[in-house]
């Protein structure tokens, strides 16, 4: 699966600011299909972890109230231009993936 | 239409087959998810389930959220604090079907400042809870929602 996260990570003065946006429906499981009246099953990212050089720099447990196409931003100490971040996520359906992004 | 539904069901079955496999392997890499807290429909209970304690009000947490959100489906929220040894930042929306929105872990070296976007079903208070030095602090503010974010 192609990556769902679009990541902008910028290193400046020894800190790296990360902005990431995922393309994901974040279906809550409370919405109904307007045509059939059936509940659309929940499908959302429930865990996201960002690692840099083997250390976790950010992680989150998400509920269904995180918006569609979730966005996160945070800043961590360290990181340099050209280094890689690895982003892992797990969906409530069990689907998971790890993606990488370069720090600029 | 029926054909379409069949394919959807099939796809769902295929997905759930993956769940079984997926749950075992990546699960170990993450901290255990507090299911009770995320499924609780009451903010106080969700906090109790997540922290096993009640946070104290604090003025040292900056919770940025619009006072009026035109679209409850996307409400930008930023939580930041100058406190030392921050371990986690959690966001609650009292009147959502499940008040716990998200819990962010703040490892050492990461600034205690997180921005995200959340859903709000209706006008409600947003509460940010910061765990620092093993203690809990919270701050809350109200955001008016003119169009709910929960479909329907």
Give the mean model confidence (pLDDT) for residues A47-55.
94
Kindly report, residue by residue over B40-59, the tens digit of the pLDDT.
899 999 999 999 999 999 99
Q: The complex's ipTM?
A: 0.91
Residues of A in contact with B19 (CB under 8 A): 93-94
Whole-number Å distance between alpha carbons of A86 and A102: 9
| Of B91, B100, B97, the residue nearest B148 (C-alpha) | B97
Q: Tens of pLDDT along B82-106?
A: 999 999 999 999 999 999 999 999 9
Q: What is the pLDDT of residue B90?
A: 96
Half-sphere exposure of B95 (CA within 13 A, CB side): 15
Residue B86 near residue B130 (C-beta atoms within 8 A): yes
Average per-residue pLDDT for chain A: 92
Q: CA of A18, closest CA in chain B: separation in Å?
A: 10
**Which chain B residue lies closest to A34 (C-alpha atoms)?**
B152
For chain A, what's the residue count? 104
């Amino acid at each position: 699966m192609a990556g769902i996260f679009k990541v902008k990570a910028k290193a400046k003065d020894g800190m790296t600011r990360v902005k990431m946006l995922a393309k994901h429906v974040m279906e809550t499981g409370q919405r109904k299909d307007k045509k059939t009246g059936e509940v659309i099953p929940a499908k959302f990212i429930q865990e996201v972890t960002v690692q840099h050089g083997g250390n976790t720099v950010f992680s989150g447990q998400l509920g269904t109230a995180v918006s569609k196409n979730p966005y996160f931003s945070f800043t961590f100490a360290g990181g340099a231009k050209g280094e890689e971040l690895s982003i892992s996520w797990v969906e409530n359906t069990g689907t998971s993936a790890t993606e990488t992004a370069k720090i600029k | 239409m029926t054909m379409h539904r069949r394919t959807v069901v099939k796809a769902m079955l295929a997905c759930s087959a993956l769940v079984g496999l997926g749950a075992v392997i990546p699960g170990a890499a993450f901290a255990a998810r507090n299911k009770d807290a995320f499924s609780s429909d009451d903010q106080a209970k969700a906090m109790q389930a997540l922290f096993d304690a009640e946070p104290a009000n604090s003025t040292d947490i900056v919770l940025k959220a619009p006072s009026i959100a035109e679209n409850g489906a996307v409400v930008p929220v930023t939580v930041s604090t100058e406190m030392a040894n921050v371990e986690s930042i959690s966001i609650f929306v009292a009147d959502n079907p499940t008040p716990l929105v998200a819990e962010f872990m703040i490892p050492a070296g990461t600034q205690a400042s997180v921005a995200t976007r959340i859903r709000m079903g209706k006008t409600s208070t947003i509460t940010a809870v910061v765990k620092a030095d093993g203690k809990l602090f919270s701050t809350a503010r109200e955001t008016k929602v003119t169009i709910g974010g929960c479909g329907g």
